[in-house]
C-alpha cells in the first residue's frame, strides 16, 4: 500500500519546476490568509466570549478605510498571481521550432502515437531526454485529455480538430500518461507510460523499432493512391493549387481573407474542401471524409509538409 508513495509529484520536465514555484507561492498565500482568519476567529471567540446574558456590546458600523485595505491588498496579490500564471501559460502553448513532432490519435480507450520516422506505438511513448517534443493530437470519437503529471502538461484531445502540447523531459524514467477527460466506461484504464530515454538509447530504440516507411513516405503513397496529384500539380498549372511550399504560409481565399496553411487548415481542406476555397480555383474538389482515417490524415499532412523541405532543397 505504501509502495511508491510520495507527497510531491516528480519534476520531470523543464516546466515542472516553474509550475511548482507558482503552486508553492499559492500554498504560501493560502497558509498566510487562512492562518490570519483562523487566528482572528479563535482569538475573538475566546477574548470576547459572552460573560453574561445581559451583555450588549456597542455597535461598530464599519470602516471604509479597512474595506479599501482588505480589497486592494488581496487584489494586488491576485493580479500578481494572474500575471505569473498567464506568462507561464503562454510559454506552455508555444512549442519550440526544434521540437520532435509526434502525432497522437486518441480513441475509446487507447492512445496511438506515430513518430516522424514511421514508428508507431500504442499506449507507450518513447522520447529522448533534453529535446522538446510537440504532440499534435486528435480524437476519433469523444473528447479525451492528454495528461502527464510528471511534466505538468495537460491538453484536451477533441474530435474534428488538432490540439497541441509540448514538453521537454529532463530526467530519464517512466512516467504515467493518463486520460484526464471523462470518456466513458474504461476511462480510468485509458493510460500508459511515457518512457524518457538517454539520446543514444533513444536512437537505438528508433532503429530497433524497424519502421516500414516514414510518415511522409506513407503520406506520399496515399497521395498517389487517392489521385491528389492529378489536380494539385507541383508547378501550379493544374485545376487545383500547387501544394509545394504552402505549409505554414498564408493562403489567399476566394472570400478575400487570408489564412495560414497550418495543420488545422490542411485537415479541413481535405475533409471539407469548400469551406475555405483558395482564390482563383473552382469548387470542384470532392470531400475525402470517410476515405481517410485520422492516422492517414496525419500522414498526408507529413507529406505536404515535406513538400516544403523538397522545395527548399531544390532552391539550394
Partner 1 sequence: MSTEPAAEHPNYLTVSHTVRSWLLTRDHKRIALLYLISISGFFILGGILAGLIRLELLTPQGDLLLSENYNKVFTLHGVIMIFFFLIPSIPAVLGNFLVPIMIGARDLAFPKINLLSWYIYTLGGIFTIVAAVTGGVDTGWTFYTPYSSIYANTNVVLTAVGVFISGFSSILTGLNFIVTIHKMRAPGLTWMRLPLFIWAHYATSIIMLLGTPVVAITILLVGLERALHIGIFDPALGGDPLLFQHLFWFYSHPAVYIMILPGMGVISELITCFSRKRIFGYQFVAASSLAIAAVGFLVWGHHMFVSSQSVYAGMIFSFLSFLVAIPSAVKVFNWTATMYKGSISLRTPMLYAFGFIGLFTIGGLTGLFLSALAVDVHVTDTYFVVAHFHYIMVGGAIMAYMGGLHFWWPKITGRMFSEVWGRIAAIVLFVGFNLTFFPQFILGFLGMPRRYHMYPPEFQVLNVLSTAGASILGLGYLLPAFYLLWSLWFGAKAGNNPWGAAGLEWETPSPPPVENFERTPVVTEEAYAYDKPQPHAVPEASRA
Is residue 293 within the footprint of partner 1 (CB under 8 A)?
no
Q: Which of 99, 117, 82 shows the shortest CA–CA distance to 153?
A: 99
Exactly one of 134, 171, 187, 276 binds partner 1 (CB under 8 A); which one? Answer: 187
**Residue 156 near partner 1 by CB under 8 A:** yes
Q: Answer yes or no whether residue 230 interacts with partner 1 by CB under 8 A.
A: no
CA dist 112 to 18, 103, 131, 223, Å? Answer: 29, 8, 21, 22
> Shortest approach of partner 1 to residue 83 CB, angstroms?
9
Helix (H) or strand (E) holding 199: helix 199-208
> With the C-alpha atoms ordered 118, 123, 129, 135, is the resulting torsion angle positive or negative?
positive
Residues 104-123 within binding reach of partner 1 (CB under 8 A): 108
Q: Whole-number minimum distance, CB 14 to partner 1, in Å? A: 13
Q: How near is the Cβ of 34 to partner 1 at its closest, in Å?
A: 5
**For residues 188 and 255, which CB has a smaller minimum distance to partner 1 in the complex?**
188
* Alpha carbon distance 187, 109 (integer Å): 7
Is residue 124 involved in binding partner 1 (CB under 8 A)?
no
Minimum CB–partner distance for residue 242 and partner 1 (Å): 29
Q: Please give the residues from 163 up to 182 whose contact with partner 1 meets the rule CB under 8 A.
A: 163, 176, 178-182
- Counting Cβ atoms within 10 Å, is residue 36 exposed (0-12), middle (13-18) or buried (19+)? exposed
| CB-based contact 35:173 (threshold 8 Å) | no
- Peptide bond between residue 49 and the one before it cis (omega within 30 degrees of 0): no
* 225 lies in the site for partner 1, by CB under 8 A: no
Distance of closest approach, residue 151 Cβ to partner 1, in angstroms? 9
How many residues contact partner 1, by CB under 8 A? Answer: 89
Binding piece for partner 1, criterion CB under 8 A, among 18-26, 210-218, 222-230, 292-300: 18-26
- Other CB atoms within 10 Å distance of the CB of residue 47: 7
Neighbours of 201 (CB within 10 A): 15
By the rule CB under 8 A, 134 interacts with partner 1: no
Site for partner 1 in 41-100 (CB under 8 A): 41, 44-45, 48-51, 53, 55-63, 66-67, 70-71, 74-75, 78-79, 81-82, 84-86, 88-93
Separation CA 101–CA 261 (nearest Å): 17
Shortest reach from residue 228's CB to partner 1, in Å: 23
Amino acid at each position: 500500500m505504501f509502495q511508491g508513495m510520495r507527497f510531491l509529484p516528480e519534476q520531470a520536465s523543464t516546466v515542472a519546476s516553474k509550475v511548482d514555484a507558482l503552486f508553492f507561492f499559492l500554498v504560501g498565500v493560502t497558509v498566510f490568509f487562512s492562518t490570519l482568519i483562523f487566528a482572528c476567529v479563535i482569538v475573538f471567540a475566546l477574548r470576547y466570549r459572552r460573560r453574561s446574558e445581559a451583555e450588549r456590546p456597542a455597535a461598530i458600523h464599519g470602516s471604509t478605510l479597512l474595506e479599501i485595505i482588505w480589497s486592494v491588498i488581496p487584489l494586488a496579490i491576485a493580479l500578481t498571481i494572474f500575471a505569473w500564471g498567464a506568462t507561464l501559460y503562454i510559454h506552455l502553448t508555444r512549442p519550440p521550432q526544434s521540437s520532435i513532432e509526434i502525432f497522437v490519435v486518441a480513441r475509446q480507450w487507447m492512445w496511438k502515437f506515430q513518430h516522424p520516422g514511421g514508428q508507431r506505438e500504442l499506449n507507450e511513448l518513447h522520447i529522448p531526454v533534453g529535446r522538446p517534443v510537440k504532440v499534435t493530437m486528435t480524437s476519433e470519437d469523444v473528447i479525451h485529455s492528454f495528461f502527464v503529471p510528471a511534466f505538468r502538461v495537460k491538453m484536451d484531445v477533441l474530435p474534428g480538430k488538432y490540439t497541441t502540447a509540448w514538453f521537454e523531459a529532463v530526467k530519464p524514467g517512466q512516467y504515467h500518461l493518463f486520460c484526464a477527460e471523462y470518456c466513458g466506461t474504461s476511462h480510468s484504464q485509458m493510460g500508459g507510460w511515457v518512457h524518457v530515454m538517454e539520446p543514444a538509447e533513444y536512437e537505438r530504440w528508433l532503429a530497433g523499432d524497424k519502421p516500414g516507411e516514414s510518415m511522409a513516405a506513407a503520406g506520399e503513397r496515399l497521395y498517389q493512391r487517392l489521385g491528389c496529384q492529378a489536380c494539385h500539380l507541383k508547378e501550379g498549372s493544374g485545376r487545383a493549387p500547387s501544394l509545394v511550399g504552402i505549409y505554414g504560409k498564408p493562403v489567399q481565399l476566394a472570400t478575400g481573407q487570408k489564412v495560414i496553411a497550418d495543420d488545422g487548415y490542411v485537415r479541413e481542406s481535405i475533409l471539407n474542401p469548400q469551406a475555405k476555397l483558395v482564390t482563383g480555383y473552382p469548387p470542384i474538389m470532392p470531400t475525402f471524409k470517410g476515405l481517410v482515417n485520422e492516422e492517414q490524415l496525419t500522414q498526408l499532412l507529413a507529406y505536404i509538409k515535406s513538400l516544403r523541405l523538397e522545395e527548399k532543397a531544390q532552391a539550394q
